[in-house]
Chain A
Amino acid sequence: METLEHILAEHPFFTGLESYYTSLLVGCAANVRFNAGTYIFKEGEEANEFYVIRAGKVALEIFAPQRKPIILATLGEGEILGWSWLLPPYQWKFHARAVEDTRALALDGKCLREKCEQNHDLGYEVLKRFCQIVEHRLEATRLQLLDVYGSRG
């Protein structure tokens, strides 16, 4: 059976992290699973953790009162879910719902925030990695907005 340390070390997100930091992260990590249809977090809730998806699929959703929840993006195996834990006001901006049965590694964001405050080198490594994720998502979102397939009047 894989240890958490092993899972973390193998994951591309954590590649290049010193083993000392990986151990630190392991201390903040736990295996979790969500049945299909469960909400992992909801808009407005306090954001205190993030997830490394190991299997399954998660949808980022928002709801308007007159429609069923709108899926903004889907995340699958290997992807990182959640960065609102990193910056104030530490509040989820969207819902995250497991579309399929999903297994993930949950990392205690609150704990990690504190560790990053104490150890700025760790903080820099974490921020660098999250910046990359945010950049990818932003680029993708902008392209999505272009509605390249739709007709425009």
Chain B
Amino acid sequence: MSGRVRLAIAHLGAALPLVAILALIATGVTTVLGPGASLFATTLFINIILVVSLQVFVGNSGIVSFGHGAFIATGAYVSGLLTLPVEVKAAALPRLPEFLAAIELPLLPATAISALVAGFVAFLVGVPTARLVGAAASIATFAFLVITNGVLVGAADLTRGTQTFYGLRPLASLDVVLVGAAAVVAAGLAFRRSSFGLRLQASAEDELAASASGIDVRQLRLIAWVLSAMISAVGGAFLAHMLTSFAPSTFYLTQTLALLTMLILGGQRSVTGAVAGTVVVTAVFEGLRRAENGIDLGPLHFSGMFGLQQLGLGAFLLIAIRLRREGLLGRRELTLNSLFRRRHQAERPSLDLSRDGNHVAGGVER
């Protein structure tokens, strides 16, 4: 076996513990909470896909992205257009181009195509903006989200504009989504540990030093951006086929903030952290929803009606941040290596940053 193949297997194998945990969660949830909970489990795994896709970009490049909702939407609308039954399309989208109106694909090919479209868009947008960092980059991603939202609303012939895009077949079964989540997690871990990922993380730590070492930072950022866009689209496609109806607002500010919350709470530096954060926030939100006995809408939905839910979630977040500043897991990953490695005792630092109030002056976000 060549070195490369062995390395690839090592990367994938390293993901085993996490994947195993995901499978456990899936079976555990459905057996303990009953079949009604399969909706919750499906939501959870879709969220995991979406948050890990964010992690691939944010966690490696250090740039907070508000723009991934655009790719999630791309995944949803493109795959939806491809899987929608022809009769529904004729009724809901009378002015579709001929080739789209006639086509009806199964979920997986549609998802794959939507991922390619998202990747292409990401590439187009990423090339001019790859040089931005920090707050400027984040603003650019936010602008991208707003622009995409506007396009979705405006291209009513394809998307039904602000009206609900409905009639999708409920193709996102728990099995499919679970496999998808496992694959995405493995991919995220592999990327993070690959030479691409490592070089990108180095550049996020110290851009000057990295580029002096010959690392082409822009190219790496672009790769991470495109890859994460494609994964987001996959998540978006699954989300669309679970919800079976949606609108541009589904993929706008509320969802963006929710996903960012899950990522940052868990610790954006690691895939394991992203997963952990997603699980915790989704579970807490679900728990609060049941406690409040509200209306069953399935996916995470910060709506004004769920007052107690949001309040509770916000309070929970503040407390969690207070207790664990770097996110739940910081930078640690759960991999085969980490399970068998011995822990060193870290000395307690004498520098008490919380009291000193030191902060990094300047505009960079890490």
A binds B: no
Measured CB to CB, the residues of A under 8 A from B are none
Residues of B within 8 A of A (CB): none
